[in-house]
Amino acid sequence: MTYAATLDIPRHIVESLARLLAAHRRRLRTPRGSRALGPFRQAVLVLRWFRERGCVHCLARDAGVSQATGYRYLHEGIDVLAEQAPDLHEVLRRCQEVGMTHLVLDGTLIESDRVAGVRENGNDLWFSQKHKQFGGNVQFLAAPDGTPL
């Protein structure tokens, strides 16, 4: 059974990511029409993953692509977004220029079920004892008022 749903993200955000993905494909010289999903539908898949924390298998199925393609499109979208983030040294320089007295460094564990790696002592690289689950540690830097930098 199929159904339509509403993605709780402003359309301009989806369109912005779609433009970034289209530019990325042009840089790679990807021929038009050679991908299973266009940039807009790929952007929807990526943003659904961020918003709903859904399983990639389900997102790929909904988009009409294989699970492997879903993972590839998801990681490509995340990489394209990550390219937009400023370098840490650039952020610190800008903060110093505007006279910020301090910054806030915070982070969180993003749950994941698709990670692997072993430390030298045999412990799993991606397992958090604090959270008792697998995931990646994501850190962010914010201005004193909490605005992400």
Same domain, 57 and 93: no
Q: What is the mean pLDDT of residues 129-142?
A: 78
Residue 127 resides in a domain:
yes
- Is 3 inside a domain boundary? no
**Is the domain of 44 the same as that of 73?**
yes
Domain that holds residue 115: 88-142
Note the pLDDT tens digit of each residue in 20-48.
Answer: 999 999 999 999 889 999 999 999 999 99
Please check whether residue 126 is in contact with residue 84, taking contact to mean a CB–CB distance below 8 angstroms. Answer: no
Q: Are residues 78 and 98 in the same domain?
A: no
Q: Look at residue 149 and tell me if it is in a domain.
A: no
Confidence of residue 50 (pLDDT cuts 50, 70, 90): confident
- Residue 51 and residue 15 share a domain: yes
- Domain total for the chain? 2
- Alpha carbon distance 53, 33 (integer Å): 28
| Residue 84, amino acid | Q
Burial 69-96 (b: 16+ CB within 10 A, else e): bbbbbbebbeebbeeeeeeeeebeeebe
Its pTM stands at: 0.69
pLDDT at 114: 58
Decide the pairing of beta strands 133-142 and 104-111: antiparallel
pLDDT per residue as tens digits for the range 83-96: 998 888 998 999 99
